[in-house]
Structure 1
């Protein structure tokens, strides 16, 4: 072997120049700051928050370990219980209505109607707004002395009432209205892209076989859009769990804390009430909710790719 390697007929291995080595390392050097920022500012602070949730931190971080006592306090807190119940109502209704409305709008636009571009832009426009703007606008619209109720009264229908925003039992549904108004257009765009990606020959074959249009959509097209459904559920669930700016602008958690959501609870206890440990515990509970949705989705996707 040594004779072969040291044979004079064997061409020498060229030494790599500094430019070649720099070109090999350049992508890693460029990506290193971004990777460092992600590791420190995302995963690092997740572990830091988990640690704080097991301490008695109040206005400033504390290193006194108290185990799961903050989680016990959290579960015994009436405001947290209310925020979880509100999240269940808001999340379920928001996800279902946004997806159903998005699918209906996508099917409507998939019929090659006139002015499709203009209509699609109108439906998508709310997504260009921030939730602060959406919350402020709907706060004006739903204000009994300024919005819909006053408008109907001015028309002469003085018996009409629409005071959900000041009704502690109905206020959570105003969050659903505003969130659906903003996000259903985005869901529509997702499903419309999925519909346009389906092979038209499948639809033509079904039409030749005598299948009606509703049958084609429900029996053929919709099953093909299963990945889009999963993506829509994941995105809307993420929006629902982390909703903070919409609640702050629209109801500020009121009346009282009847429209509180976990994100607003976490902010209030961490930054305004000096209970960092309790706020960190609520943040970890929110992270657990997101992972409970995300992990099964990723598992199903990976299993399908392997099969």
Structure 2
């Protein structure tokens, strides 16, 4: 009996708290960050959504007033212009950036000389902010400072490029600047995917007599569907939240001809003291992003489930 009691005393005592900490220390480390994200991101999204259903002006009020702000929003011609500009800008920006980025990736995939230098040159614009991009292109496209003046000084007096001050063409200057900044990033995505393609497939296609263009169009590019989708959703997200590029390049003008939803929201909220209306426009921007993201997530989950 004495031996058994001595053996029990010599066994280490159970430490449930220490064991629990050992298994949950990672969760404890991540928990504060997770809580802050929930509060400052999703909490303020919910707050903005509620404010959009009130008649808040300079200061928020919390008396529910239905869809008054949304009805008011869609009756404003400036908002319609902003949404039309988003469709034009987003469509052209996404299409041109993907096509140009893909072509650059295919060109670099031919193992050209100074490939590393060219990759850096094409990708570098993505490292700078849209404010700098907008300012630089504002100088380049300014009729009195940039391209037009340069060609005039070279003797081409009839040359005219006044898109920056033309209300019908100002939106396209945003497309030019955005494509210049983002096409290198798309190129990097495609180039990484192309370098992962099995070289034996290309060799077999060459032996069958396929041309280089046909190999890429028929064999390689169709396998890059995930890259096309990823590029589309990244660029679409950038297009919807475009604000600083517009401020730096066109300021939303001439007039309101190049205003975007993000600039409209800022104008209503911080300059005209219409918090409820600004919140409604912000929720419409969120709905636009969700309309793009949700179908993509659904298709991805469905493919994984059935794949």
TM-score, normalising length from structure 2? 0.94
Q: Distance in 1 between matches of 2:223 and 2:72?
A: 46
- What is the deviation of 1:25? 2.5
Q: What displacement does 1:22 show?
A: 2.2
**Alpha-carbon distance between aligned partners in 1 of 2:248 and 2:254, rounded to the nearest angstrom:** 13
**How many Å separate the matches in 2 of 1:14 and 1:239?**
58
* Alignment-derived partner of residue 222 in structure 1: 221
Q: Work out the CA distance in 2 between the residues paired with 1:196 and 1:306.
A: 28
2:82 pairs with 1:96: no
Q: Is 1:239 matched up with 2:238?
A: yes
Question: For 1:85-124, what per-residue CA distance to the aligned partner results, in whole angstroms no more than 9, with x for missing partners?
Answer: 1111100000000000000000000001110000010000
Tell me what 2:82 maps to: 83
What does residue 173 of structure 2 align with? Answer: 174
Distance 2:117 2:13 in 1: 62
Q: 2:243, 2:164 → 1: CA distance? A: 17
Question: Compared with structure 1, are the counterparts of its residues 27 and 151 closer, same or farther at alpha carbon in structure 2 (3 Å cutoff)?
Answer: same
Counterparts of 1:136-215 in structure 2, within 5 Å, are 136-215=135-214
Give the secondary-structure state (helix, strand or coil) at the position aligned to 2:54: coil
What is the CA distance between 1:19 and its match in structure 2?
Answer: 3.6
Structure 1 Cα separation of the partners of residues 12 and 216 of structure 2:
63
| 1:13 CA drift (Å) | 10
**Aligned partners of 1:51 and 1:231: how far apart in 2?**
32
Per-residue deviation, 1:15: 1.9
Q: Indicate the SS of the match to 1:61.
A: coil
Cα offset, 1:18, TM superposition: 4.3
Deviation string, structure 1 residues 239-283 (Cα, Å, up to 9, x no partner): 000000000000110111110000000011011100000000000
TM-aligned CA deviation for residue 16 of structure 1: 3.3
Question: Partner residue of 2:5?
Answer: none
Residues 1-307 of structure 1 aligned to structure 2 (within 5 Å): 15-16=14-15, 18-307=17-306
Q: CA deviation at 1:28?
A: 1.5
TM-score when scaled to structure 1? 0.94
Report SS of the residue matched to 1:234: helix
In 2: Cα distance, 1:108 partner to 1:239 partner: 26
Distance (Å, rounded) in 1 between the aligned partners of 2:141 and 2:280: 34
Once the 2 structures are TM-superposed, how far is the Cα of residue 200 of structure 1 from its aligned partner? 1.3
User: Deviation of residue 29 (structure 1)?
Assistant: 1.4
CA deviation string 1:143-198 (max 9, x = no partner): 11111111111111111110100000000000000000000000000000110111
Structure 1: which 5+ residue stretches go unaligned? 1-11
CA distance in 1, matches of 2:213, 2:159: 38
* Map of 2:4 onto structure 1: none
TM-superposed deviation, 1:138:
0.4
Distance in 1, matches of 2:69 and 2:16, equals 59
In structure 2, distance between residues paired with 1:86 and 1:28: 44
How far off its partner does 1:27 sit? 1.1
The alignment of Structure 1 onto Structure 2 pairs a total of residues equal to 297
